[in-house]
Structure 1
Amino acid sequence: MSKKIAVAILNWNGKNWLEKFLPSVIRYSPEADIYVIDNFSTDGSAAFLQSRFPEVKIIRNDKNYGFAGGYNEGLKKINNEFYCLLNSDVEVTENWITPVLDLFEGNPAIAAVQPKILSFNRKNYFEFAGAAGGLMDNLGYPYCRGRIFDDVEEDKGQYDDETEIFWASGCSLFIRSDDFWEQNGFDARFFAHQEEIDLCWRLINTGKKIFYTGKSTVYHVGGGTLNKQSAQKTYLNIRNNFSMMLKNLPFPKLIVLILFRLCLDSIAGIYFGLKLGFPHFLAVLRAHFSFYAQAPGTWKLRQKHQKSHFYQTKWLVFKHFL
């Protein structure tokens, strides 16, 4: 008989991460079924799991669908009431699931919850991918409580609260399975990066809420699949951010914002090129043209109602860099 919650770890050639971090998941998740969704690994991950962790259920995808598509395919085979989408390079802690379930059960409008995400390598600092819950400024730039662009805060208990946020990190994303599938899961075209922000925005457009709890803590290594300095990551983040805005912002605000952002990100391309190298400049150009190519299909995915994202900070990019 299935338990109320399933912890689903998407794996692609991450045998070393599984060996290091899966024991903490097994030890501290007695109330959960534990799955590894293998995204067509070639490093012997599945055989390793069968021999080393026989209590873990394995779902094998027939190819590498990326983060978004990989979860969409694998979760079709999991029937629990709640999912926890957990990166393979995450160490969990004792009692990390209970506060999340308490939030879900206390408020049916809550569709997704994120725990506190700290850095595995600097455990008293927040981690880049999620920190203490995701927000977005008025120009559509995502940031987090505890992390603005590349600057992260030390954890001094300032985010030990439970509060509504705009997006929950895919690093450790708890979500009701019904809400996930009512939105048809992630947008598989994103492949990776910002697909969880898009999903949370779509949920908010339907009246659902996204929450953070500081009563649950996990530690994330980060950069296990794509390093922060990867040009491919620059490409995916920019392309997917534009697609997300086109899909979710109300008209006509989206036209003004996207035109302004296209100009601003062109300047950012020069900045990235000077700071990180010419491949990042090319990544910005590729992202823009890929966004244009996807735009007709993206427009068809717009919901009946759109809401402007709520934000706590305006003009974040100007305040931070200028």
Structure 2
Amino acid sequence: MIKVSVITVNFNQPSVTEALLSSLIEVNDYQELEVIVVDNGSEVNKTREWAVQYPTVKFIRSEDNLGFAGGNNLGIKAALGDFLLFINNDTEVTAHLIAGMVGYMEERPKVGMLSPKIHYFDEPGIIQYAGYTAMNFVTARNRCVGQFEEDKGQYDELVGETGYIHGAAMMVRRQAIEMAGPMPENYFLYYEEFDWVEAIKRAGFEIHVNNNLLIHHKESVSVGRNSPLKTYFMNRNRILFVRRNATWYQYLLFCFYFMGLVMPRNIIEYIRKGQYSYIKILIRAMSWHLFNAPNSEYLGFTQRK
């Protein structure tokens, strides 16, 4: 039986992580499994307590918050599985999820990454993800298939190649990681899984979705409120993703689009809402690119402890 390493990252959400561990132990029906929890610099270190409570789980503690990619990459270093399943700590698995993902990837050796269908946990039957469309590198936009729709089985036949996986639940073939490298850590938040998809595609693998498999995600349907952190990294990383993955002429067209439309539109919106400090954050996110290379590890935002 193929060994699977499940990797999840905890940051100041112990009860949420415990609910995930319970679902992996009590609901999951796949036996050849190792579970790895990376505590990403949480204020309260519960790894010693958890090691007693969950003796079959590996716990790794980082004293610093390494971001989404950095935390998951610590898990990769400790993982022994042939397939690695990265799931957010605010998810809960369904019984056949892992076995179904393993079976799908075993039958298709060219598949490097796979995501299942995702439902909102608190909105039963409402889809969060059923695939992604391809990226328009001129606008740096694509569409999440099925999001906010009631699941009536309309995407059950959508099985196969997709534009991108979803970072909340993605199974990755070890061989793909060895050839493409680990998750890029210079994003910290947002777009890192999209960049990883591009690297794994360049390594010769396919990206798939299987909407006959399901996981529940506790992210709210209404999520999306701005914060200084989110505003900075969403804008900085949107530009960074295009710089790292588009052709030079696509990047040039994107710059015209961003400077001519996105930036003025956002500034007008911040003024309308009285969020004047966000204008500085937007400019800071853009100016990062004037002084840093696309592979720079300098984040430009104080977040690591």
- Cα distance in 2 for partners of 1:125, 1:141 equals 23
- Cα distance in 1 for partners of 2:47, 2:269 equals 38
Report the TM-score, using the length of structure 2 for normalisation. Answer: 0.86
Q: Is the 8 A contact 1:15 1:48 kept in 2?
A: no
Residue correspondence of structure 1 range 1-322 to structure 2 within 5 A: 4-27=3-26, 28=28, 29-127=30-128, 131-138=129-136, 139-147=139-147, 152-160=148-156, 161-222=158-219, 228-270=225-267, 272-273=269-270, 274=272, 277-295=275-293, 297=295
The Cα of 1:93 is off from its aligned counterpart by 0.6
Q: Is the 8 A contact 2:117 2:210 kept in 1?
A: yes
The Cα of 1:290 is off from its aligned counterpart by 1.9
- Cα distance in 2 for partners of 1:105, 1:120 equals 28
Q: Is the 8 A contact 1:3 1:33 kept in 2?
A: no
What per-residue deviation string (whole Å, max 9, x for no partner) do you get for residues 57-113 of structure 1? 112224211111111223112121111111110011110012211221122211100
Q: Is the 8 A contact 1:37 1:59 kept in 2?
A: yes
Match of 1:309 in 2: none
Q: Is the 8 A contact 1:118 1:218 kept in 2?
A: yes
CA separation of 1:163/1:32 partners in 2, compared to 1, >3 Å: closer, same or farther? Answer: same
CA separation of 1:271/1:137 partners in 2, compared to 1, >3 Å: closer, same or farther? Answer: farther
- Cα distance in 2 for partners of 1:285, 1:143 equals 26
The Cα of 1:136 is off from its aligned counterpart by 4.0
Q: Is the 8 A contact 1:36 1:59 kept in 2?
A: yes
- Cα distance in 2 for partners of 1:229, 1:268 equals 15
User: RMSD of the alignment, in Å?
Assistant: 2.2
Q: Is the 8 A contact 1:272 1:280 kept in 2?
A: no
CA separation of 1:44/1:206 partners in 2, compared to 1, >3 Å: closer, same or farther? Answer: closer
Report the TM-score, using the length of structure 1 for normalisation. Answer: 0.82
Please tell me the residue identity of whatever aligns with 1:255: L
- Cα distance in 2 for partners of 1:276, 1:9 equals 38
- Cα distance in 1 for partners of 2:274, 2:81 equals 43
Task: Note the residue ranges of structure 2 that are not aligned, 5 or more in a row.
Answer: 297-305
SS of the residue aligned with 1:111?
strand
Q: Is the 8 A contact 1:13 1:45 kept in 2?
A: no
CA separation of 1:264/1:55 partners in 2, compared to 1, >3 Å: closer, same or farther? Answer: same
- Which region of structure 1 is more displaced relative to structure 2, 134-143 or 165-174? 134-143
Please tell me the residue identity of whatever aligns with 1:58: F
The Cα of 1:236 is off from its aligned counterpart by 1.1
Match of 1:308 in 2: none
- Cα distance in 2 for partners of 1:7, 1:22 equals 10
CA separation of 1:36/1:123 partners in 2, compared to 1, >3 Å: closer, same or farther? Answer: same
- Cα distance in 2 for partners of 1:276, 1:181 equals 48
- Cα distance in 2 for partners of 1:183, 1:81 equals 15
Please tell me the residue identity of whatever aligns with 1:21: L
Q: Is the 8 A contact 2:36 2:75 kept in 1?
A: no
CA separation of 1:91/1:101 partners in 2, compared to 1, >3 Å: closer, same or farther? Answer: same
Please tell me the residue identity of whatever aligns with 1:17: V
Q: Is the 8 A contact 1:46 1:58 kept in 2?
A: yes
Q: Is the 8 A contact 1:164 1:210 kept in 2?
A: yes
The Cα of 1:296 is off from its aligned counterpart by 5.3
- Cα distance in 2 for partners of 1:16, 1:203 equals 33
Match of 2:299 in 1: none
Q: Is the 8 A contact 1:26 1:34 kept in 2?
A: no
CA separation of 1:40/1:211 partners in 2, compared to 1, >3 Å: closer, same or farther? Answer: same
Please tell me the residue identity of whatever aligns with 2:283: L
CA separation of 1:262/1:38 partners in 2, compared to 1, >3 Å: closer, same or farther? Answer: same
Please tell me the residue identity of whatever aligns with 1:146: G
- Cα distance in 2 for partners of 1:228, 1:180 equals 33
What per-residue deviation string (whole Å, max 9, x for no partner) do you get for residues 172-217 of structure 1? 1110122123222121110011100011012223332100011211
